[in-house]
Homo-oligomer: A and B are copies of this chain.
Amino acid sequence: MPVLRPRPLPSSVLLSLVPVASWFIFRPLLDPLPSIPALYSSIGFSIFAFLATIYLVPALGPTFVKARLRGKDLLKYYDKSIPEEELFVPESLGLVAASVYILSLILFIPFAFTMPIREQANVKTAPEGITVSEFPHYQLSVYLSSLLSLLVATILGFLDDVFDIRWRHKLPIPIIASIPLLMVYYAEQGNTNVVVPIPLRFILGKLINLAGPLYYVYMSLLSTFSTNSINILAGINGSEVSQALIIALSVILNDLLYLPWPIGFRIPLHLLGNTTELDFGGVWNAGMSFGSRELVERHLFSLYFMLPLVAVCTGFLYHNWYPARVFPGDTLCYVTGMAFAVVGIQAHFSKTLLLFFMPQIFNFLLSCPQLFGLVPCPRHRVPRFDKDTNLLYPSLAVPLNSDSTTKAFAKTPSKMTTVVVRLFSALKLTETTVDPATGAVVNTTNLTILNFFLLRFGPMNEKRLVKVLISAQLAGSVLAFFIRYALAWLVYDGDRR
Contact = CB atoms under 8 A, between A and B. Distances in A.
Given A67-B162, A103-B179, A162-B67, A187 B109 contact: yes
Interface residues of A, number: 38
Given A141-B141, A154-B155, A183 B148 contact: no
Nearest to A176: B103
A99 B155 CA distance: 10
A482 to B, nearest CB: 39
A189 B141 contact: no
A186 B138 CA distance: 15
A404 interface: no
Given A114-B189, A187-B114, A180 B147 contact: yes
Q: Is the interface of A mostly helix, strand, loop or mixed?
A: helix
Contact of A106 (B110, B147, B180): B180
State the number of copies, please: 2
Contacts of A103: 176, 179
A95 to B, nearest CB: 8
Contact of A183 (B107, B137, B154, B187): B107
A106 B152 CA distance: 11
A76 interface: no
Interface string A183-207: 1101111000000000000000000
Interface string A45-58: 00000000000000
A110 B186 contact: yes
Contacts of A144: 141, 144-145, 148, 180, 184
A63 B162 CA distance: 10
A366 to B, nearest CB: 32
B151 A183 contact: no
A163 interface: yes
A462 B140 CA distance: 48
Contacts of A147: 148, 180
A68 interface: yes
A322 interface: no
A152 B144 CA distance: 13
A318 interface: no
Nearest to A180: B106
A100 to B, nearest CB: 12
Interface in A142-164: 144-145, 147-148, 151-152, 154-155, 158, 162-164
A113 interface: yes
A149 to B, nearest CB: 10
Nearest to A63: B163
Nearest to A137: B138
